[in-house]
Amino acid sequence: MQSDLKSKLESALEAYAVRSGHALQEVGAVLFDMDGVLYDSMPGHCRAWKQMCDENDIISESDEFYVYEGRTGASTIDILFRRQFGHGAIDDDVKRLYARKSELFRAEGPAPLMSGARKAVETVRAAGAIPVLVTGSGQTSILERLNIDYDDAFPIEHRVTAHDVKYGKPDPEPYLMGLVKAGVGKCKAVAVDNAPLGVESASRAGVFTIGVRTGPIPEGMLREAGADIEIFSMSECAVLLKELL
Ligand code: CA
């Protein structure tokens, strides 16, 4: 491990102990976000959101969907409605619009795996820790591929998806649920997320949070959102996890 990354990790662990009131102990589980962490799927998601909006005369900007990343589809549609119409979306609209967005995303074809992510997950399993999926997505097209792409590392009982949660990120609920599914306490887990709202969720859950900047967001934004350490790639994340485990 490079010495600059090592010293960055050491100071992150010290600061984590101060903010959380406990040191990171022997790590029993690593909670992985999906889009932008396990899959390089965010560009496709953003194109699908934008096209769905254009088709339905909903005003939007392509890049704003990077900022909403981590929210459930229903929550994102609600934001768009409140901004344009001054009220939230009814369930029928949410279902119809999210179904169309999902259809457009599927038409993008399979999203590529994020470079370095398989190595990161393998590192967790090799150390005897439990990988857990914590995603705001309910996108079956990608959830169904997980077992194949990640060698059954994420069985159903170790997944938190849009279907499990009431509030979703940035609420701590999804990561807290991930801890329960893993059967480990917050002082024995690490979270990996690429989006400000996801990082906020993990950080508020009291978990040591690795922010991976895989998308077009400014440097430092994940630290501001609560990441204990901000890095640039899943390859770097695999190195960090090896050190932590
Ligand atoms: Ca994400």
Ligand 1 centroid to residue 93 C-alpha, Å: 24
- Local confidence pLDDT in tens for the 245 residues of the chain: 888 999 999 999 999 999 999 999 999 999 999 999 999 999 999 999 999 999 999 999 988 898 888 778 898 999 999 999 999 999 999 999 999 999 999 999 989 999 999 999 999 999 999 999 999 887 787 788 999 999 999 999 999 998 899 888 899 999 999 999 999 999 999 999 999 999 999 999 999 999 999 988 889 999 999 999 999 999 999 999 999 99
Ligand 1 centroid to residue 192 C-alpha, Å: 9
Ligand 1 centroid to residue 34 C-alpha, Å: 6
Name the residue among 174, 96, 110 with its Cα closest to residue 142: 110
Chain centre to alpha carbon of residue 78: 20
Ligand 1 centroid to residue 237 C-alpha, Å: 15
- pLDDT for 30: 98
- Residue 37 CA to residue 220 CA, distance in Å, equals 18
Ligand 1 centroid to residue 21 C-alpha, Å: 27
- Residue 114 CA to residue 186 CA, distance in Å, equals 26
Ligand 1 centroid to residue 238 C-alpha, Å: 17
The residues pairing with 193 across neighbouring beta strands, listed in sequence order, are: 211
- pLDDT for 113: 97
* Token pair 């994020």 in the structure block, residue: 114
Ligand 1 centroid to residue 1 C-alpha, Å: 26
Ligand 1 centroid to residue 41 C-alpha, Å: 9
- pLDDT for 28: 98
- pLDDT for 67: 83
- pLDDT for 175: 98
The residues pairing with 208 across neighbouring beta strands, listed in sequence order, are: 190
Sign of the dihedral through C-alpha 222, 226, 232, 238 = negative
Give the CA-trace dihedral at 222, 199, 16, 160, to 10 degrees. -160
- Residue 6 CA to residue 88 CA, distance in Å, equals 46
Tokens standing for residue 142: 């990608």
pTM here is: 0.89
pLDDT in tens, 21-65: 999 999 999 999 999 999 999 999 999 999 999 999 999 998 889
- Residue 38 CA to residue 49 CA, distance in Å, equals 20
Q: How many CB atoms lie within 10 A of CB 93?
A: 15
- pLDDT for 144: 84
